[in-house]
Every structure is written in structure tokens, then in C-alpha cells.
Amino acid sequence: MAIRNVLQLGDPGLRAVAEPVADPTAPQIAALIHDLSDTLAHWRETTGYGRAIAAPQIGAGLRVVFLQLPDAEPWPMVNPVIVERSPEKMVVWDCCLSFLSIFMQVERHCEVTIRYQNLAGKSHELRAGAERDLSELLQHEIDHLDGILQWIGLPIFGPCAPVKSSKRDTDRIVRMTSNAAVSGLWSRPFDPWICRDTI
């Protein structure tokens, strides 16, 4: 199909709430999934980042998410919705293909239950937790469907750190956040490679 441009921070399309898909079996939804797959594969190949992408990130205002987890089959989700959230929360480093040079610590639920449809229109439900960091990943992607970005509308804990930084700057951030984590100011020190496996 096609590698599509990924909307970047500041584009109003990232703040729009996506529309539900009326017919998951429609040819245009299959075509959209192919575009999401090609675009995600391109970003993964060229940057090393990316496990999932939401349709609004390529300018398609529909409630569709595409996951490509390591060593797993492609996983399209149509009309995903969080139907249950655990009371327990965690603070995680979060980043995004739509502003890849910055990431930050945000609060997420430790576990969530997701209901979605596949491309045949069949409904599925899954409980996502710490395994493969699936809970935080799905919360991130569903936020995109609701026009929510990490640093707008979510609690932020700790610094916003540049991913593409010099070794000197990265070492300084690691020292700073390690010291803060020890003193309890936020939960975990900065890991300069963490986003390779979390978005």
C-alpha cells in the first residue's frame, strides 16, 4: 500500500477525536491497516522505534490501532475501548512517533481491559498488564484515538528528556534522574534506549 506521513506535534489532527468504524470489514479499513503497517515498518526500520501506531497519526480520523509487537503476528484493532482499569497505577517513561525527540514520565493504570473488533467484525476482549508492556502501550494508542497527547491532559512526573541527545547530555540526564529516583522524586531513572521497546 503506502508509507504515510506521521503527523507531528502541533498538527491539529492529533487533537481530534476519532470516529467509530461502522463496518470493520469494509475495504477502506483493510487499506488503512496496510498503510499503518507499512508506515510503522518504515519508522521501525529507519529509527529503531515503534511497536504500534494509531490511525489519527497518519491523518485518518478513525478508531483503528495497529500493533506489531516483536516476534508476533500483526495485530489490528478496530474500535478499541478501555472497559476496565485497575485501581493500581504506575509511572512510566512514555514517548511517541509524533514527537520522537522528546519523552516524559506519565501515570498509567497497571492493567486495563480492552474490548475491540478484528477485521472480520468479531468482538474480542483482553486483559493487558505488564507482560510486553502491553497495558501502557494500549493506553497510549487509545489516547491518540481520543485526541490526547502525553503532556496534555495526563499527569506528568519528572522531566521531559531528549531522546536524540549527545552522549554527554544523555549521561547528565541519567545521573540527574538516577539521583532523583533514589530520593523518591520520581519512580525510575532515565533509560536512553527505553523507547525502542515501549512505543
Mean pLDDT, consecutive 10-residue stretches, the chain (199 aa), reads 89 95 98 97 90 97 96 96 96 85 84 97 95 92 92 51 48 47 42 44
Active site residue 141: yes
pLDDT for the residue numbered 151: 57
Domain carrying residue 141: 12-197
For residue 5, being part of any structural domain is answered with: no
- pTM flag (> 0.85): no
In the chain, where do the E strands start and end?
52-54, 64-67, 75-85, 89-95, 102-109, 112-117, 123-128, 156-162
Domains: count for the chain? 1
For residue 112, being part of any structural domain is answered with: yes
For residue 55, being part of any structural domain is answered with: yes
> What pairing do the DSSP bridges indicate for beta strands 52-54 and 64-67?
antiparallel
For residue 4, being part of any structural domain is answered with: no
Q: For residue 55, what is its C-alpha cell? A: 490511525
Assign 3-state DSSP to the chain and report helix, strand, coil percentages, each to 5. 35, 30, 40
CATH number for the domain that contains residue 171: 3.90.45.10
pLDDT for the residue numbered 34: 97
For residue 43, being part of any structural domain is answered with: yes
pLDDT for the residue numbered 169: 43
For residue 149, being part of any structural domain is answered with: yes
Three-class DSSP category at 67: strand
For residue 7, being part of any structural domain is answered with: no
For residue 63, being part of any structural domain is answered with: yes
pLDDT for the residue numbered 1: 61
pLDDT for the residue numbered 139: 95
pLDDT for the residue numbered 99: 84
